[in-house]
Amino acid sequence: MKQNDEIQKASTHCSTFAFLPTRQTNAKKCKRAAIFQPHGLWCILTIMFTFLVINSVDTFAQVTFPKSPTVQHFNPQTINPQQTTQQTNNNISHYQQPTVPMGGNAQDIINQQNRQAMQMMGYQPPIIPPSDPALLHQFILQQAQATGQSKQQRQVAELNALLREDVNTPQTNYTQTTEYIIKTKNYHKAFADLLNMQNGLQPFSLKKAIYIVENAYLDNSLKYETYNKQILSKTKLLKSIIQKEGIKPNNNLGKNYIIQKMFSERIVEYKDTVVYKVHKPYQYDFDDFKGENDWTKMFVTKLLKTGKGQCHSLPLLYLIFAEELKTKAWLSLAPEHSFVIFSDNALKNFYFYETTNGNSVTDNFMLESGFITSQALKNKIYLDTLDQNGLIASCLADLIMGYTDKFGYDEFMASMVESLLKIYPNSIQGQIFKADLIAREMKYAAKQKGLKSYKEFQQYPEINNLYVALQNQYDYIDGLGYMQMPKDRYAAWLLSLNDEKHKQEKQKLKTTLIGNVKRDN
């Protein structure tokens, strides 16, 4: 666990966390590929309807609250870019919670039952390869490992899949035109502001960094005063609860425990014994939770407005509260996921907090996803705390993802990726961006020559060199320990927090945490 210089890591993915944006054209393409064939559909629906009528039951259970785990310390490993992979406030009341993550409703439960019914009948949804080049590499790698293909066979399949994808022809000198400069000026300013935070010309503030990133995407339409007022209102509430609970100013565990109430409990404010305001806990938003159709779904400002977010915005808001309360907490990453780590005053005991569920979890729960490799732990790309540079790099990744969603890949995007990797070389997002840039350059060059197969590359050294560079970049990403986690596996992993085993773990963790809060007070 990083503890450099009293750990300046008290802020956050802008994770970014963490996901390369899928263009709407690709999303629509995938949707079309996933449509059922019409024959036999009515038969399946009839069986499903009968099954649901017979088996409809209430699935709600009492929420239990957490305590926290002790995190092991991982030692970094130097990576050679050429290497390849070897493998309570008295006024608080609690919600009843369904057996889906917070924010679920009746339709979510019906959808879950539908999926279970179809699986029982032997139906498996079609596998759709991702359109993003780096994620396509991971997909084909996993398919090759499952079928025993050689590395060469896998690379040929990968290249052929890339060549089948369309690539937009870049507009010559477009980035020097007046039109481009006007359209992208907010992004150029945001990029400069984040770099100034990194080099010390501006003080680092996670709250301000997130505003900079989201305001650029929204064409400078966000009002900082409104955004700041929303955060200060919640911070004022947290401070009043800290005072009522008697938490001392230097009790780091205590302050984090109070912040967690915003993500797990219904808080009622009173004025002269009359209900003044009710604060609902922040909830998980199932709708477009990766921002594939609407990138603003990933925004903290959207979370503040609606009370719903996902594993990108929820941990960031938690860390903004920690920043405002001057307490220590850190962003940490897992495959397709981000969460919060906090500690006691002595920085000896570390705890994982799952903002999507409102509970502390064990490090074993994170490992249960099955997509965290020993290499990823050694290289500290997962389950480690992000320092200030890591947070700035994460905010830069968010900025880049928003930029590509609006303007695509160009020289300015490439310069942002280069800066990101200088700041934080092991950034998985940054390395995936780099791979995508190489892949797009290779595909464009091959398109210009009319090439359609790997064998034709040998005749053109420049194109073949790009192909070799792309394979080296993929090997480097694999060597860091990265594995793509499919969306269905991710959803099933989060849902497992509500099984009986994890309920007992969460209650045990909460009991221990409360005891340690009292100890440190």
Amino acid at 241: I
pLDDT of residue 366: 84
Q: Render 237-294 in DSSP notation, one character per residue.
A: HHHHHHHHHT--TT-HHHHHHHHHHHHH-EEEEEETTEEEEEEPPPEE--TTTT-SS-
401 within domain boundaries: yes
- Residue 389 is assigned to a structural domain of this protein: yes
- Confidence tier at 158 by pLDDT (50, 70, 90): low
- Say whether pLDDT at 41 is over 50: no
* pLDDT, position 434: 95
Count CA within 13 A, CB hemisphere, residue 114: 11
Contact 505, 361 (CB under 8 A): yes
State the Cα–Cα distance between residues 515 and 519, nearest whole angstrom: 6
Residue 33: inside a domain: no
Long-range contacts of 500-508 (CB under 8 A, 24+ apart): 502/361, 502/365, 503/61, 503/64, 505/361, 505/362, 505/365, 506/64, 506/65, 506/66, 506/67, 506/359, 506/360, 506/361, 507/64, 507/65, 507/66, 507/67, 508/67
Q: Which of 5-19, 105-119, 252-266, 472-486 has the highest mean pLDDT?
A: 252-266
Per-residue confidence band for 5, with pLDDT thresholds at 50, 70 and 90 = very low
Say yes or no to pLDDT of 149 above 60: no
Chain centroid, CA 311 distance in Å: 5
At 426 the three-state DSSP class reads coil
> How many domains, the chain?
1
pLDDT at position 214: 97
Q: Which two tokens stand for residue 115?
A: 């999926």
Q: Is residue 280 part of a domain?
A: yes
The tokens for 65 are 């609250």
pLDDT of 495: 78
* Mean per-residue pLDDT of the chain: 76
For 272, the domain range is: 4-28+57-119+174-520
Q: What is the mean pLDDT of residues 465-469?
A: 92
Query: Is 141 a member of any domain?
Result: no
**pLDDT at residue 47 in the model:** 46
Contact 506, 361 (CB under 8 A): yes
| Structure-token match 């053109």, residue found | 460
| Position 274 in a domain | yes
| 289 three-state secondary structure | coil
Of the ranges 23-27, 343-347, 361-365, 366-370, which one carries the lowest mean pLDDT score? 23-27
**pLDDT band at residue 240 using 50, 70 and 90 as cut-offs:** very high
3-state SS, residue 170: coil
- pLDDT tens for residues 14-28? 333 333 333 333 433
pTM tops 0.75: no
Is residue 144 in some structural domain?
Answer: no
pLDDT over 60 (residue 138): no
**Residue 401 predicted with pLDDT over 50:** yes
Question: Residue 446: inside a domain, yes or no?
Answer: yes
**Per-residue pLDDT at 142:** 55
In the numeric block, the tokens 């010309």 are attached to 201
